[in-house]
Amino acid sequence: MIWPFKTLVPRSLYGRAALILIVPIVTIQLVISVGFIQRHFEGVTRQMSRGLEIELSHLLDEVAEAPDPAAARAVAEEIGAALELKVTMPADWQVEGDRRDRWDLSGAEVARTLRGGLETLRAVDLQSDGDKVRLLFATEPEPLSVEVDRRRVSASNPHQLLVLMIFTSILMTLIAYLFLSNQLRPIKRLADAAEAFGKGRHIPYRPRGAQEVRAAGSAFLDMRARIERQIEQRTLMLSGVSHDLRTPLTRLKLGLSMLSDPEEAEDLLRDVGDMERLVDEFLAFSRGDAVDAAEDVDPVALVRRVVENGQRSGQAVTLHEAEGAAVMRLRPAAVTRALENLIGNAVRYGSRAEVSVNVTERAVRITVEDDGPGIPKQQRDEAIHPFTRLDRSRNPNKGGGVGLGLSIAMDIARSHGGSLRLGDSDRLGGLKAELVLAR
């Protein structure tokens, strides 16, 4: 029973807080207003009508005891003047039943009360003149009509009280919302800082607000500092390892270049080159984009530049489609590295690659498609894991790495608040890799 109403609930914290604040106030106002109006229009009107009923009963009794019509008219005029009633005898109007507006709730109570205590009452007219109540009685020897001010039998309209109540409620709601927004603003700032950090950005943040919000903010700052310190230590360690490994590799290359047998030296130099390439891939994977600063970049221009660089280096890659234009904050070197890895995989396992970029309001989608054998659906999650090689499904004769290309692209996408999705290329028939970067 709750599911149909979930679409009506605001998604933002401000909207839900306003809903929590406004619904109880509106409910209380409705309950109080309905209860007050019911008591005011029914209870008070009933009491006032009974007072008029007593006066009319006295008038009718005196008229009934009069010996002749002339005496009855004289008595009616005298008592009517004393009670501030306009009495006409004989009556100057005739009608059957009551006449009133449909929404005249107090009028219905007036007619019901008077009819309950006056047996000779034949008609109640509340429609001819909104400020008057006209009553018709079947008296002997002539019918009698009475006209009385409506204010004597009906409670006054409580609109002033309702207007004051509504105005006060709106004013107090605005004041409460201002106080509530001061408590919600630190939560919004914390969410913005956490979202930016998830996208690889670093924005200034200082804990503010209530004690619980300050505690959450302090915990976030400690977590962010630990993660940044861990990334920095890992980068420094791997940089040192890379330097230590490059030194003996350089000595090996120098020694091999001095061998007397060129053919044997060529094979060994190729092995040393492979070792250097593996070291570079390990370092790139472990370093990620930690040393790359975020800046405002046009993603379409970045993709076009990467494609042009690939074409100059002899890769069969083309820019198929580029939609949208925007400038967003990202780490250009890291995104370039991820895109180069995807293009490298595409041309390694296929004969050509096509790149598309689509800029939307919430994300940038960079798609790389090839005409290779692709990756089976059941192995796509495994393919993104580090050091995973699927050479049995892809062509191993065109060379292969150590299984870090897709992992590096995935890490870079995650550091920008996005993801890497693998699928089938409908246009080329091979693998479709979609790099999504959140804006």
Q: Which domains does the chain have, with CATH numbers?
A: 3-157 (3.30.450.300), 292-438 (3.30.565.10)
Q: Do residues 402 and 282 lie in contact, with contact meaning Cβ atoms separated by under 8 Å?
A: yes
Residues written for the chain: 439
Q: How far apart are CA 358 and CA 341, in angstroms?
A: 19
Q: Are strands 363-370 and 431-438 parallel, antiparallel or unpaired?
A: antiparallel
Write out the chain's pLDDT in tens, 439 residues: 445 556 666 777 777 777 777 778 778 877 777 777 667 667 788 888 889 899 999 888 888 888 888 888 888 889 988 888 888 888 887 776 777 777 676 777 888 888 888 888 888 888 878 788 888 888 887 888 999 988 888 766 556 666 777 788 788 878 877 887 787 888 888 888 887 787 667 788 888 887 888 888 889 888 888 887 877 777 677 666 666 777 777 777 777 777 666 666 777 777 777 777 667 666 665 555 555 667 888 888 899 999 998 888 888 888 888 877 778 888 888 888 889 888 988 888 888 899 999 888 888 899 999 988 888 888 887 777 766 666 544 444 444 555 667 888 888 888 787 888 888 888 888 899 999 988 7
Query: Residue 287: exposed, middle, or buried by beta-carbon count in 10 A (0-12, 13-18, 19+)?
Result: buried
Per-residue pLDDT, 238: 67
Q: How far apart are CA 13 and CA 187, in angstroms?
A: 9
Question: pLDDT, tens digit, for every residue of 74-126?
Answer: 888 899 888 888 888 888 877 767 777 776 767 778 888 888 888 888 888 88
Residue 358: how many CB atoms within 10 A of its CB?
17
